[in-house]
Amino acid sequence: MNAGIDNVKIFAIGKSQYNSSNTNWTNGNSIPVLVDPLPYNSWSSWGAGQRDLFFLNANGDYHTDFNITSWNYNQIYNTIMDLLPEDTLLGDTNGDGILNVLDVVILVNNVLSNSDYDANSDMNGDGIVNVLDIVLLIGIILS
């Protein structure tokens, strides 16, 4: 799995009453803004405040939020960098940086035991770790 900015989700929640000001977020930027209509259920459920950014990790799970009123570039940059997964070698199931038979053994054991989904083991990117991924990993190792 290669780290990339697409792995981090960032968004803001704007109240519909301030819809004309939401362009301050979006003009020249690509931050999505959820425009929340009355009675502002999303605003409330997320605990939003004016100028809050919400950060989700690569799995789409909430990670953190913070207010950018007093713009702190380093804080935003560091938050994004902390959310990015480390670069890993696809198929390197034991994390030693080498694709070899040890990775195949671990992958086979994970498939047979119905282990939790591991994106690093999903060689064909179909969202399922199964025998097809084992075959692809063996093919890469043998080539």
- Indicate the domain borders of the chain: 5-83, 101-142
- For residue 63, the number of C-alpha atoms closer than 13 Å in the C-beta half-sphere is 21
pLDDT of residue 2: 35
| Tokens of residue 37, six digits | 């209509």
Query: Span 100-126, mean pLDDT?
Result: 90
1-46 pLDDT, tens digit per residue, is 333 444 667 888 888 888 887 777 777 777 788 889 999 999 999 9
- Whether the predicted pLDDT of 100 surpasses 90: yes
* Confidence category of residue 134, pLDDT binned at 50, 70, 90: very high
Structure tokens at 53: 């950014």
pLDDT tens for each residue of 58-74: 677 888 888 888 777 78
* Cβ burial, residue 36 (10 Å; 0-12/13-18/19+): buried
Cα(14)–Cα(26) distance, integer angstroms: 11
Average pLDDT over residues 109-127: 88
> What's the confidence (pLDDT) of residue 111?
93
pLDDT at 105 over 90: yes
SS (H, E, C) the chain: CCCCHHHCEEEEEEEHHHHHHCHHHHCCCCCCEEEECCCCHHHHHHCCCCCEEEEECCCCCEEEEEECCCCCHHHHHHHHHHHCCCCCCCCCCCCCCCCCHHHHHHHHHHHHCCCCCCHHHCCCCCCCCCHHHHHHHHHHHHC
